[in-house]
Each structure stands twice: as structure tokens, then as C-alpha cells.
Chains A and B, each alone.
Chain A
């Protein structure tokens, strides 16, 4: 009886270990890189399988914020578009979704309601020990940079930013933060 139990365990463990790489491989690579997908992107694993790496999103981007991975984020995301908000953030013009042929980036009309409904790149998070407004020097730059002020971000009496749930994660606040390192940064949805 003991031997049978042992054999059962052995077989189930071996099966699980054999199946793991195949399952693992379909999940997008997790590296330490913090990046955003363009607005309207599907969730990460689906995005990687949909995207054909044609580069049209980057070509359509008037703000030149969309860059493309080499192999630094794993081979499965080779050639896929990403945004580093501190370098250049998304202005939510929604042109990338219009040109995407595969629907990896969904086409979304450029209106506040539809953007709030459908765009979920990430969510901004404030580091209160770095933020000037929380140190008594009222700043409010992130609030003024936000394309959805009072919806995505609200400020207190000393301009302390309070990120709301409606934040879509475009990264313009992080782009414009005057602190070095930035006191507000977008946490991408695929790494939440």
C-alpha cells in the first residue's frame, strides 16, 4: 500500500513537472522591467499571442512614446510594443488601436467615457515620502499633467495627489513629476 502511494505520487509529480514548462511558456515572460502596453491592449498573455510585431502602432504614435522590445524581456515578447512612461508617456490619442490589424490593441474612440471604460494600462501610485506636496511644498504638477483631472487624480489642500480607481495609467503624471527619482509611478496592470 505504501509503495502504491509512492508510485502514485511519483507519477503525478513527474506529470506536473513535464507539463509545467509548456504551461509556463504560454504565460508571458516575467522580468524586472516595468513597462506599459499601448492603450487598449489585451491582457499580457493574449496580447503576446495576438501581436504580429508589425510596428504600425509605433509608426502611428504622434508622441513617439511606443518603443519595441528586443530580447531583453524574454523571446516571447520580442518585437512587441511597450511604453516607458518616465521617458515618454501616452497622450491617449488612440491612434495605435486604429492601425493595429490584429486587435491586440483594441480600437477605442477618443472620448473620455470610452477611454475610462476600456483603457487599463496600469494605475499610478504615489510615493508619499518622495512627493513634495506631502512634504509641505505644494507642487501639483502630476495633477496638472493628468488628462483626466479630478476623475483619475484628485488633490488635497496642499496639492497632495490622491490617485482614483478611474486612473487608466497613461503615465503623463510620472513623465512630468519634477522629483528625481519620480514620486509617482504607474504600476502596470499585467504586474499587479
Chain B
């Protein structure tokens, strides 16, 4: 019988898609609320009236006073208000503290839940929540398809520590300019903002161009290059998740050294040789692909490094002791 954790990767895709759809829904709700507040249904164009009707049908079962009740959920994954609880990306807090050179306690509190979750589960924001990850992973699939039909795709490698440098430089530049610069280069913040601009304000902004450039970078230069080498948020989450409690471990007895896990890892890690480290985002893609179910979750704050070749692999059996 196959263990159930193999299906976690499907759950992760559902989570990513769901959050992306919510990011589309929230600006729609905002526009709908503005239409309701204006009390001017008759002045809307036919397409706007259709939009109004659809939104009314969708929200009617849940709220009695859409103009105010729908204020319950606002924002994006960068910073959101959920039933009066403010939740914010830790990178926003780092950026704000370094730009303002001051600490605003209630904003620190907003990052509390994400920080605790990251301390426990590691970089799961990257794999399970980030709206940019959905597009980046689809982009990876596109690259694989292009490769199959014979078109060139980039697969260069850089130093993964580059992103910590980006984080540091971002903090210093924010201090100098007094402006939260991370917001301009951090893909999940860009995605949330640009979806909102496109739906509520009538068009994409400059951030969309930047995001398309990162997609092209991933496609033509380095697979998942932005997340692996550049993303300052990924760097921060990696640092926070260094001593995460839940991590993936390889059972050396059932591993057959097939290297599928290493090939599928979006973050260039090496599960086949226990190379998880702080950057593993518990995305479970390696668990889903493992033919012998040798990858499992365990509760510990350390990896077991260098367990050697898998016991079902040829390399181990030919050198039997």
C-alpha cells in the first residue's frame, strides 16, 4: 500500500491554485463593494452589470450587507487583513524596519504567525503559498516541454548563497533610500499587487514587466533561477527555517539511488544524498516522485547528513561488506 504522504504534492498544487484564485477574487470583491457603495446599478455598462450580478450571486449566501461585511478579508500574501487580524510577510517587516529605522510594534505582531510557522515548518511559504511559485512551476513545466521538442532552455547554475547577498543589499539600500525596496522586486508582492491593478485599476503596472523578465530568466538562463539564486524573501525564510522542526529525511534502507528526487527538486537540493539543509521548503515533490517510498517526514531540528548510498542501489550492493 502506498503511503498517503505521496499525495501531499497534489494537495500543494491545490493550495497554490486556491491562493492564486483568492488573489483574483479579492480585487473583484473590492470592485463589487465600490459598485454597491455607489448605489448606481443603472449607470453601469452591461458588462459591469453582468460582473455585479455574478459577484452578487457568489457573495449573497455569505453576507447580508456586502458593502461592509465583505471588508472581512483584504490584501494579498504580502500583507493581509483577515477578520481584523493583520498578517504580514516577514520580509515586509524587515524592509519596513530597515527603511524607517524604527520599530512599529503592531506591525511586528503582524509577522508573528508567519514567523512561527516558518520556524516550525521551514520555508513552506515558498512551496505552498507563494502565488509566484504557481507561475514559476508552470514555467518549469513549460521549459521541460520546450526541451522535449528540441528548443534550447537554460539550465545554468549559480551560487545559491547569492540570495542572502540580495537580502543584505536590499536592507542596506532600504536604509539609505528610506523606502521599502523589497516590495518592488519580491515576486509574491508583485503578483498580488499586479492582479489587483489589473482588475480594479484597469491595467498592469511596471511590476508585471519585471515579473515577465524573471519568468524569461527562469526559462532561458537558469531553471527556477529567481527562487534559487535571487529571491530575498526565500533567503529570509531559509534563515528562519534553518532549525525547522518538521523536515524530510531519506530512509537509506529503502533508497535505490534512482536520483529522481534530485532531478525533480525545484531548489537544486540533493535529497538522494541527504542534502536538504535550510533551503528545503517541504514541498514534497521528491516524496511524490520516489518509487520506493524512501523519503519520509520526521520531527527533528537536524538532518542526518551523508548516509551514503541507498541500500537497494547497485552501488551499495556491489560493494557489499
Contact = CB atoms under 8 A, between A and B. Distances in A.
Given A59-B196, A68-B201, A101 B107 contact: yes
A55 B34 contact: no
Contacts of B180: 49, 51-53
A60 B71 contact: yes
A54 B75 contact: yes
User: Helix, strand, loop or mixed for chain B's interface?
Assistant: helix
B106 interface: yes
Contacts of A76: 177-179
A22 B27 CA distance: 38
Contacts of A53: 78, 180, 183-184, 189, 193
Interface residues of A, number: 35
Interface residues of B, number: 45
Interface string A29-71: 0000000000000000110111111111011111110011011
A71 B104 CA distance: 27
Interface stretch (B93-101, B137-145, B288-296): B93-101
B180 to A, nearest CB: 5
Nearest to B182: A52
B26 interface: yes
Contact of B183 (A52, A56, A58): A52
Contact of B81 (A46, A78, A99): A99
B168 interface: no
B74 interface: yes
Contacts of B31: 64
B86 interface: yes
A62 B79 contact: no
What are the 4 A-B residue pairs with the smallest beta carbon separation, nearest first? A54-B79, A53-B183, A49-B100, A76-B179
Interface of A: 22, 25-26, 45-46, 48-56, 58-64, 67-68, 70-71, 75-79, 95, 99, 101-103
Given A54-B193, A76-B179, 16 more contacts: A48-B178, A49-B96, A51-B180, A54-B80, A54-B92, A55-B196, A58-B30, A59-B26, A70-B206, A71-B206, A76-B177, A76-B178, A95-B71, A99-B75, A101-B81, A102-B96
